[in-house]
């Protein structure tokens, strides 16, 4: 049997250097993570988008570390090839480098994830340095950062104007300097994302940031057509929500008609 070659941290910079796009999708559970791992997705992100996508919250702000860990553990168990990144939720890293290291160690030990992601640039660079100094791979997240949606005034595209672009570049360079291996750019003007991508040695992974970033990430439910939210920057690559409704409708009909279970599903002796 051929052993699956695991994606490792050094592969991402190599992919940037040879111009191979990095693929990242969110995943929150074992079967979904298995499907995406088998499809060749390079990075599975256990995002705190878990809150609004899986737990029925209206934003990511209320998600806790204790809620994230079992989902991250399930995804890590499923990933044979993919590199697993787990988010630290709001309130678990901002206070101090010590808080960030403690939360990251807790997540890494209990979930088996390969790396940690949290949001912000220069303002959390001390935390990033402390986390990477502790031997924990770190992925940054800039642009529209959902945990700060109250401070940003809602879902607003970032990187507008000369100052907006410079701020993004300075934040991204601070993360790279602090040891980040990649930076997610969310809802950023494409030309600003291109400028950040050119300024960094480490890869950028875009979501609503144009095609010039070194990789792309989507929330899997948006990608597969589950749920009602269809952000402009996302593309629906399937109709999984409809397929689930169709399967459940057929099941209900068969049970009501006593067409299921049939003899082939029944133990008779
Ligand atoms: O939590 C998440 O799903 C994310 C992606 C939007 C990048 O951070």
Does ligand 1 have an atom closer than 6 angstroms to the CB of 53? no
Give the residue-averaged pLDDT of 77-98.
Answer: 98
Q: Are both 216 and 253 inside the same structural domain?
A: no
Q: Are both 58 and 187 inside the same structural domain?
A: yes
- 4, part of any domain: no
Please state, in angstroms and rounded to a whole number, the distance separating the CA atoms of residues 116 and 97. Answer: 14
Cα(266) to centroid(ligand 1), Å: 44
Give how far Cα 103 sits from Cα of 86, 106, 118, 123, Å: 11, 5, 11, 18
pTM of the model: 0.96
Give the per-residue pLDDT at 2. 59
* Helix, coil or strand: residue 86: strand
Q: Are both 190 and 60 inside the same structural domain?
A: yes
Give the tens place of pLDDT for each residue, 96-132. Answer: 999 999 999 999 999 999 999 999 999 999 999 999 9
Which atom of ligand 1 sits closest to the CA of residue 53? 3
Mutate-to-test residue for ligand 1 from 33, 144, 146, highest number of ligand atoms within 8 A of CB: 146
Q: Are both 243 and 184 inside the same structural domain?
A: no
* C-beta of residue 120 within 8 angstroms of C-beta of residue 145: yes
Give the per-residue pLDDT at 150. 87
Does ligand 1 have an atom closer than 6 angstroms to the CB of 49? yes
- 35, part of any domain: yes
Q: Are both 226 and 107 inside the same structural domain?
A: yes
Q: Widest CA span of the chain, in angstroms?
A: 77
pLDDT at 267 over 80: yes
Give the per-residue pLDDT at 33. 98
Please state, in angstroms and rounded to a whole number, the distance separating the CA atoms of residues 212 and 119. Answer: 21
pLDDT at 229 over 90: no
Give the tens place of pLDDT for each residue, 135-193. Answer: 999 999 999 999 988 888 888 999 999 999 999 999 999 999 999 999 999 999 999 99
- 120, part of any domain: yes
Please state, in angstroms and rounded to a whole number, the distance separating the CA atoms of residues 26 and 93. Answer: 21
Q: Are both 119 and 229 inside the same structural domain?
A: yes
* Helix, coil or strand: residue 19: coil
Alpha-carbon 125 to chain mean position: 20
- 2, part of any domain: no
Give the per-residue pLDDT at 97. 98
Q: Are both 159 and 248 inside the same structural domain?
A: no
Q: What is the mean pLDDT of the chain?
A: 96
Q: Are both 123 and 202 inside the same structural domain?
A: yes
pLDDT at 1 over 60: no
Please state, in angstroms and rounded to a whole number, the distance separating the CA atoms of residues 10 and 17. Answer: 11
Q: Which of 21-25, 58-62, 65-69 has the lowest mean pLDDT?
A: 58-62
* C-beta of residue 87 within 8 angstroms of C-beta of residue 47: yes
Bridge partners (DSSP) listed for residue 44: 25, 84
* Helix, coil or strand: residue 27: coil
Give the per-residue pLDDT at 228. 81
Q: Are both 98 and 143 inside the same structural domain?
A: yes
Of 131, 66, 48, the C-alpha closest to 93 is 131
Cα(256) to centroid(ligand 1), Å: 41
Does ligand 1 have an atom closer than 6 angstroms to the CB of 193? no
- Catalytic residue positions? 186
Does ligand 1 have an atom closer than 6 angstroms to the CB of 219? yes
**pLDDT class for 65, splitting at 50, 70, 90?**
very high
Mutate-to-test residue for ligand 1 from 25, 27, 186, highest number of ligand atoms within 8 A of CB: 186
Cα(267) to centroid(ligand 1), Å: 46
Does ligand 1 have an atom closer than 6 angstroms to the CB of 26? yes
**Total of domains in the chain:** 2
- 3, part of any domain: no
What proportion of the chain, given as a percentage, has pLDDT over 70?
Answer: 99
Cα dihedral 170, 175, 181, 184 sign: negative
Q: Are both 212 and 100 inside the same structural domain?
A: yes
Q: Are both 248 and 145 inside the same structural domain?
A: no
- 25, part of any domain: yes
Q: Are both 229 and 257 inside the same structural domain?
A: no
Cα(257) to centroid(ligand 1), Å: 43
- For the domain that residue 89 is a member of, what is the CATH number? 3.20.20.60
Give the per-residue pLDDT at 79. 98
What is the domain extent for residue 13? 9-238
Give the residue-averaged pLDDT of 203-207.
Answer: 98
- 204, part of any domain: yes
DSSP 31-81: HHHHHHHHTT-SEEEE-TTHHHHHS--SSSTT--HHHHHHHHHHHHHH-SS
Give how far Cα 121 sits from Cα of 59, 87, 167, 238, Å: 21, 15, 9, 34
Does ligand 1 have an atom closer than 6 angstroms to the CB of 143? no
């Amino acid at each position: 049997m051929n052993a699956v070659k695991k994606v490792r941290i050094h592969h991402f910079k190599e992919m940037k250097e040879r111009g191979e796009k990095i693929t990242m999708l969110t995943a929150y559970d074992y079967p979904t993570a298995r499907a995406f791992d088998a499809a060749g997705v390079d990075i599975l992100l256990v995002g705190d988008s878990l809150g609004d996508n899986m737990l029925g919250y209206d934003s990511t702000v209320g998600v806790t570390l204790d809620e994230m860990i079992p989902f991250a553990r399930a995804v890590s168990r499923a990933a044979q090839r993919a590199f697993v990144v787990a988010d630290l939720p709001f309130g678990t890293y901002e206070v101090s480098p010590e808080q960030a290291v403690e939360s990251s160690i807790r997540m890494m030990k209990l979930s088996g994830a390969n790396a940690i992601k949290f949001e912000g640039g220069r303002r959390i660079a001390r935390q990033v340095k402390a986390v990477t100094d502790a031997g924990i791979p770190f992925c940054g997240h800039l642009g529209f950062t959902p945990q700060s949606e109250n401070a940003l005034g809602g879902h607003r595209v970032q990187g507008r104007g000369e100052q907006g672009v410079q701020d993004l570049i300075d934040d991204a360079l601070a993360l790279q300097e602090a040891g980040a291996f990649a930076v997610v750019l969310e809802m950023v003007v494409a030309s600003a994302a291109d400028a950040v991508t050119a300024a960094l040695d480490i890869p950028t992974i875009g979501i609503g940031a144009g095609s010039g970033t070194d990789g792309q990430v989507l929330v899997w439910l948006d990608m597969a057509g589950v749920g009602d939210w269809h952000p402009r920057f996302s593309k629906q690559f399937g109709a999984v929500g409809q397929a689930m409704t169709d399967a459940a409708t057929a099941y209900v009909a068969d049970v009501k008609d006593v067409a299921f279970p049939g003899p082939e599903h029944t133990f008779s002796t």
